């Protein structure tokens, strides 16, 4: 919604917004754009008299402002619907869907198109360091100063659209190029099982035109089931074992890229983990659909600076490095820890986790939590406001796991435990009470 607000402002609208507990980097981006942010959902905001209320999916019936909007019969729409109708309707949309890696892959693809001179618009669920903003309208391409870029790259989320529209957000985007990065069970608060999410992904596939392309992960049986329900577009695979896009020889600082067995180039970069290599393959394949040569895409990714809150180094004090990462699903946690392990070798990793997503709070993934953290040397779990016992869930890790309900106690334990050369990996999909700055201050 912050990105949509930025796009609306750039399109010439006067924009205000309200939310609860907004945290950086989105809060600071909104401030920089001059978009006034009101805390809470009070009915008094009707006095602003906007032409239209654009409703995010955190808004529920019973919130005073929403009740006032309904009682007064005022015009409202969802964020994805507004975006589809006002921004995307005449664009070549490149949409990146998947349980993991959406934000990073979207940032990669937007940067590849930018590097190639295509000046795309984009909406990312984070802030790519190469751009410094999460969203922008299409710009003037390098090759044609008299036109606006037809391309728009968007992170395509499967979460529901709004309280009045329970379809996944991505059905509003109508992509010509659709990336299906991976698909696991998630969002247990709105989906009963994996099959229910596969149905939504198939709704997305149904919107891709016959002349479009679906770029899909060849390792994912769930995505194959989605395509077997029906696909009317060209399909191109990555990360499979036979044809399509593949990672060949890997190096400490990158890997070789193959397409149908043919060498396309060597990508040298600073990102970690096999998951990011697959994200790169998906982005390179999608960019090729709009005419960007693989060699150019590989060169662009060599200059990709990642997205804020994706293995972002927040500081280093007394040779103790503190990282911030958005990982909150067991699979993402495991790949993030594994990626850091590959980088730091035998150095100690102190994994710090806040199970904050709706799925985590419900306890749906708690059985997989211990297994996702086995590569860490020590595990610290912040278990406030959970309906289950994190100590019990992490019992298989033995003495190397500890849980806390007070942030001050957690920071104190980390401060006394951390040693010279340690890497503290903090994982949460929220602000985590500003733990990063507080911990760095305590370590200093």
Of the chain, the end-to-end C-alpha distance in Å amounts to 36
Phi, psi torsion values for 332, nearest 5 degrees: -65, -40
Domain-embedded: residue 246 = yes
Q: Kindly state whether residues 257 and 392 are assigned to the same domain.
A: no
Tokens of 252: 């400490």
Same structural domain, 65 and 92: no
Global model pTM greater than 0.75: yes
Contact between 162 and 58 (Cβ < 8 Å): no
Per-residue pLDDT, 30? 87
Cα distance between residue 238 and residue 297, in whole Å: 15
The b/e string for 288-300 (b: 16+ C-beta within 10 A; e otherwise) is bbbebebebbbbb
Please tell me the distance from the alpha carbon of residue 346 to that of residue 195, in angstroms, as a whole number.
40
Q: Which of 75, 110, 131 is the last residue of a domain?
A: 75
- Output the six-digit token pair for 15: 């924009």
Residue 81: inside a domain: no
DSSP annotation of 99 reads S
CA 344 from centre of chain: 24
Burial of 375 per CB tally in 10 Å (0-12, 13-18, 19+): middle
Contacts (Cβ under 8 Å, ≥6 apart) of 327: 333, 335, 336, 427
Q: Are residues 256 and 321 in the same domain?
A: no
Half-sphere exposure of 261 (CA within 13 A, CB side): 2
Single residue among 301, 323, 348 that ends a domain in this structure: 301
> What string of pLDDT tens digits covers the 444 residues of the chain?
989 999 999 999 999 999 988 777 778 888 888 898 899 999 999 999 999 999 999 999 999 999 999 999 999 999 999 999 999 999 999 999 998 889 999 999 999 999 999 999 999 988 898 998 889 999 999 888 889 999 999 999 999 999 999 999 999 999 999 999 999 887 777 788 899 999 999 999 999 999 999 999 999 999 999 999 999 999 999 998 778 999 988 887 889 999 999 999 999 998 878 888 999 999 999 999 999 999 999 999 999 987 777 778 899 999 999 999 888 788 888 988 988 898 889 999 999 999 887 777 777 778 888 899 999 999 999 987 777 888 888 999 999 999 999 999 999 999 999 999 999 999 998 888 889 999 999 999
CA gap 239, 216 in Å, rounded: 9
**Does residue 19 lie in a domain region?**
yes
The domain that holds 366 is classified in CATH as 3.90.190.20
Burial class (CB in 10 A: 0-12, 13-18, 19+), 193: exposed
Torsion of CA 330, 331, 334, 339, to 10 degrees: -140
Which value, in Å, is the radius of gyration of the alpha carbons in the chain?
Answer: 22
Residues 417 and 280 in one domain: no
Residue 67's CATH number: 3.40.50.720
Q: Are residues 24 and 142 in the same domain?
A: no
Residue-by-residue DSSP string for 380-393: EEE-TT-SS-HHHH
**How many beta carbons lie within 10 A of that of residue 408, not counting itself?**
11
Domain co-membership, 200 together with 296: yes
Is 151 within 8 Å of 185 (Cβ atoms)?
A: no
* Bond from prior residue into 25 cis (ω within 30 degrees of 0): yes
- Both 333 and 388 in a single domain? yes
294-301 vs 274-289: helix axis angle to the nearest 10? 140
318 and 290 assigned to the same domain: no
Asked if residue 101 and residue 38 are part of one domain, the reply reads: no
Q: Is residue 80 part of a domain?
A: no
Q: Is residue 167 part of a domain?
A: yes
What domain range is 436 assigned to? 312-443
Structural domain ending residue among the three candidates 53, 75, 97: 75
**Does any domain span residue 94?**
yes
What pLDDT was estimated at residue 425? Answer: 95
State whether 297 and 363 are in the same domain: no
Domain count for the chain: 3
Q: Is the same domain home to 287 and 177?
A: yes
pLDDT, position 157: 92
In a domain, 82, yes or no: no
54 in any annotated domain = yes
- Do 210 and 107 reside in the same domain of the chain? yes
Specify the CATH number for the domain of residue 135: 3.40.1190.10
Cβ(120)–Cβ(151) under 8 Å? Answer: yes
């Amino acid at each position: 919604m912050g990105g949509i607000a930025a796009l609306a402002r750039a399109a010439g609208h006067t924009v205000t917004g309200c939310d609860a507990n907004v945290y950086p980097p989105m809060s600071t981006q909104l401030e920089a754009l001059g978009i006034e942010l009101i805390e809470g959902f009070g009915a008094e905001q009707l006095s602003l008299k906007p032409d239209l209320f654009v409703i995010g999916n955190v808004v529920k019936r019973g919130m005073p402002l929403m009740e006032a909007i309904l009682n007064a019969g005022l015009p409202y729409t969802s964020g994805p619907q507004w975006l589809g109708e006002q921004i995307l309707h005449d664009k070549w949309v490149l949409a990146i869907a998947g349980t993991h890696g959406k934000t990073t892959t979207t940032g990669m693809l937007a940067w590849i198109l930018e590097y190639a001179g295509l000046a795309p618009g984009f909406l990312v669920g984070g802030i790519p360091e190469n751009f410094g903003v999460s969203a922008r309208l299409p710009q003037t391409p390098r090759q044609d100063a008299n036109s606006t870029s037809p391309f728009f790259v968007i992170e395509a989320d499967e979460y529901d659209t709004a309280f009045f529209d329970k379809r996944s957000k991505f059905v509003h985007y109508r992509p010509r190029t659709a990336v299906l990065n991976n698909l696991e069970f998630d969002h247990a608060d709105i989906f009963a099982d994996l099959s229910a999410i596969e149905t939504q992904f198939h709704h997305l596939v149904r919107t891709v035109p016959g002349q479009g392309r679906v770029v899909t992960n060849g390792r994912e049986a769930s995505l194959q089931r989605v395509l077997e329900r029906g696909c009317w577009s060209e399909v191109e695979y990555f990360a499979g074992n036979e044809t399509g896009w593949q990672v060949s020889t890997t190096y400490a600082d990158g890997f070789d890229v193959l397409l149908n067995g043919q060498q396309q180039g060597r990508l040298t970069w600073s990102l970690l983990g096999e998951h990011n290599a697959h994200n790169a393959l998906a982005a390179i394949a999608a960019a090729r659909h709009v005419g960007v040569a693989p060699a150019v895409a590989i060169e662009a990714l060599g200059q990709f600076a990642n997205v804020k809150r994706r293995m972002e180094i927040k500081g280093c004090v007394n040779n103790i490095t503190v990282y911030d990462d958005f990982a909150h699903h067991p699979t993402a946690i495991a790949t993030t820890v594994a990626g850091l392990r590959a980088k730091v070798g035998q150095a100690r990793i102190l994994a710090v986790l806040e199970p904050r997503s709706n799925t985590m709070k419900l306890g749906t993934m708690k059985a997989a939590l211990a297994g996702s953290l086995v590569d860490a040397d020590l595990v610290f779990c912040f278990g406030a406001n959970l309906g289950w016992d994190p100590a019990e869930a992490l019992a298989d890790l033995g003495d190397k796991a500890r849980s806390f309900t007070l942030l001050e106690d957690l920071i104190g334990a980390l401060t006394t435990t951390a040693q010279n050369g340690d890497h503290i990996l903090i994982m949460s999909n929220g602000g985590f009470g500003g733990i990063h700055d507080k911990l760095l201050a305590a370590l200093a």
